[in-house]
Amino acid sequence: MTSSDERINYLDHAATTPVRPEVLGKMLPYFTEKFGNPSSLYSLAGEARYGIDEAREQVALVLGCRSGEIVFTGGGSESNNLAIKGSAAMRSPAGGHIVTTAIEHHAIIHPVEQLEKLGYEATYVGVDRTGKVDPDEFAAAVRADTFLASVMLVNNEVGTIQDVATIAQKTREASKLLGGKVLIHTDAVQGAGKLSLNVSDLGVDLLSLSAHKIYGPKGVGALYVKRGVELEPLIAGGGQERQRRSGTENVASIVGFGEAITLAESERIESRGRMQQLANKLVEGVAERIPDSSFNSSKTDRVPEISNFSFPGVEGEPVLLGLDFKGIAASSGSACSSASLEPSHVLLAMGIDPALAVGSVRISFGRETTETDVNDVLQALKDVLDQLATFPSAQN
């Protein structure tokens, strides 16, 4: 285990990121001299309200939408839940059909499963070996009573990019032919700072974001809600966020979110080449040093920041513990379930053998990742796997 004064080679940016100094600096005044409640009328409250308004404009600028279409939430999971449950609750009588995929984040799958227990129906469209959804297959799952279709932009475990724009177009066409009207939602939490989030180009009605994936604070996110789309709020009370999300706003975090997404977007294109070079070095290095490893993603249609590998004959947990002992922080997949020894639902949906899926490791880069970091993890992975092969009892 590394000591507190040693640098950790942090390679789990898909799980969370540190708050950037520029973001923290923007937030700090809202904990102290600008602490007012934005709903009040005096000038102190006006300063807080201005901070929220500015952040809303910043998010809207990145998404290419109106500021009034941005709803601030408590994070990506809440945004997903609001999109799913909020649209379902608008149906009268209750019921209907949802189309999503088998590799969504649990913040999509679990709310949909909750609705199924209430009488709603859902179709979980499968993916190929690289985690790609076939747009035609997705659209073919639409029924006349399909009111919501949700497909993530970037998978959080394997980094695969979905063609959301084509899926949205084909899904709408299928719904229209059946006399229906479907809303298109995308979980874009892992796409921020990596891909364009222009909602018109994506063709979506709803889009979820989270600040802590882009060097902003934890506990704040946003949901884009296209003008004219009505959602039943999950939280009722004071009527904040235009009646869509009650509760006194987390002003400092919202301000931090606005700064974080502005910085992430401004650096997005410039960082792409460097990230791709690092990803190529990692993937080629693992294949060379560990020939029996498996690369669990598309080599072309993925973000280079996220790489997922499986190693036969081992479980992910001892590999991660071995890496941690060497000062390297990585993950076994989704951060929300990385402590579980169950194989990833994403990898299983991709057709990966369960015995191989339990030996998966996700390595995800960030803005400070260097070639030295990649070299270190390549050597550490080889060392840890060699040690586990020498001591097979460690797997029991």
Instruction: Note the pLDDT tens digit of each residue in 205-232.
Output: 999 999 999 999 999 999 999 999 999 9
**Of residues 33 and 340, more confidently modeled:** 33
Average pLDDT across the chain, whole number? 94
User: Which 8-state DSSP code applies to residue 124?
Assistant: E
**Mean predicted confidence (pLDDT) in 278-297:** 96
User: Which 8-state DSSP code applies to residue 248?
Assistant: -
Q: What residues does CATH 3.90.1150.10 cover in the chain?
A: 9-18+268-388
Q: What is the predicted pLDDT for the residue at 55?
A: 98
Supply φ then ψ for residue 18, to 5 degrees: -70, 150
- Residue 393 pLDDT greater than 80, yes or no: no
- Residue 234 pLDDT greater than 90, yes or no: yes
Residue 220's beta-bridge partner residues? none
Distance CA 331, CA 95 (A): 38
Secondary structure (H, E, C), 168-234? HHHHHHHHHHCCCCCEEEEECCCCCCCCCCCHHHHCCCEEEEEHHHCCCCCCCEEEEECCCCCCCCC
- Residue 337 pLDDT greater than 60, yes or no: no
Q: What is the predicted pLDDT for the residue at 167?
A: 98
Residue with tokens 């590999």: 319
Cα angle 169, 172, 176 (rounded to 5 degrees) comes to: 140
Residue with tokens 């939430």: 73
**Mean predicted confidence (pLDDT) in 283-302:** 94
**Mean predicted confidence (pLDDT) in 88-99:** 95
Cα angle 51, 56, 60 (rounded to 5 degrees) comes to: 150
- Residue 3 pLDDT greater than 50, yes or no: no
- Residue 5 pLDDT greater than 70, yes or no: no
pLDDT tens for each residue of 255-280: 999 999 999 999 999 999 999 999 99
Distance CA 207, CA 119 (A): 25
Q: What is the predicted pLDDT for the residue at 391?
A: 67
* Contact (CB, 8 A) for 364 and 306: yes
**Mean predicted confidence (pLDDT) in 80-108:** 97
**Mean predicted confidence (pLDDT) in 55-62:** 98
- Residue 317 pLDDT greater than 60, yes or no: yes
* Contact (CB, 8 A) for 349 and 28: no
Distance CA 86, CA 80 (A): 9
Distance CA 260, CA 183 (A): 28
Q: What is the predicted pLDDT for the residue at 299?
A: 86
**Mean predicted confidence (pLDDT) in 150-177:** 98
Q: Is 215 left (phi over 0), alpha (psi -120 to 50) or beta?
A: left
Q: What is the predicted pLDDT for the residue at 41?
A: 86
Structure tokens at 208: 């979820």
Distance CA 215, CA 367 (A): 9
Can you say whether the dihedral through the CA atoms of 54, 57, 63, 67 is positive or negative?
A: positive
**Mean predicted confidence (pLDDT) in 362-371:** 97
* Contact (CB, 8 A) for 364 and 302: no
**Mean predicted confidence (pLDDT) in 64-89:** 98
**Of residues 141 and 6, more confidently modeled:** 141
**Which residues have a catalytic role annotated?**
336
* Contact (CB, 8 A) for 334 and 345: no
Type of residue found at 190: Q
**C-beta atoms surrounding 104 within 10 Å:** 23
The kind and range of the H/E element at 310 are: strand 306-310
User: Which 8-state DSSP code applies to residue 7?
Assistant: P
> Could you tell me which of 89, 98, 174, 108 has the C-alpha nearest to residue 135?
174
Secondary structure of residue 116 in the 3-state scheme: helix
* Contact (CB, 8 A) for 86 and 234: yes
Q: What is the predicted pLDDT for the residue at 333?
A: 62
CATH of region 9-18+268-388, choose from 3.90.1150.10, 3.40.50.20, 1.10.10.10, 3.40.50.970: 3.90.1150.10
Distance CA 327, CA 248 (A): 40
**Mean predicted confidence (pLDDT) in 322-350:** 81
* Least confident window among 152-156, 381-385, 392-396: 392-396
> How far from the centroid of its chain's Cα atoms is residue 248's Cα?
25
Q: What residues does CATH 3.40.640.10 cover in the chain?
A: 21-263
- Residue 338 pLDDT greater than 80, yes or no: no
- Residue 134 pLDDT greater than 90, yes or no: yes
Identify the band that residue 296 occupies on the pLDDT scale cut at 50, 70 and 90. Answer: very high
* Least confident window among 3-12, 117-126, 184-193, 355-364: 3-12
Q: What is the predicted pLDDT for the residue at 340?
A: 52
Distance CA 159, CA 337 (A): 17
* Least confident window among 61-65, 92-96, 207-211: 92-96
Secondary structure of residue 148 in the 3-state scheme: strand
Distance CA 197, CA 153 (A): 9
Structure tokens at 329: 């922080």
**C-beta atoms surrounding 280 within 10 Å:** 13
CATH of region 21-263, choose from 2.60.40.420, 3.40.640.10, 3.40.50.300, 3.40.50.880: 3.40.640.10
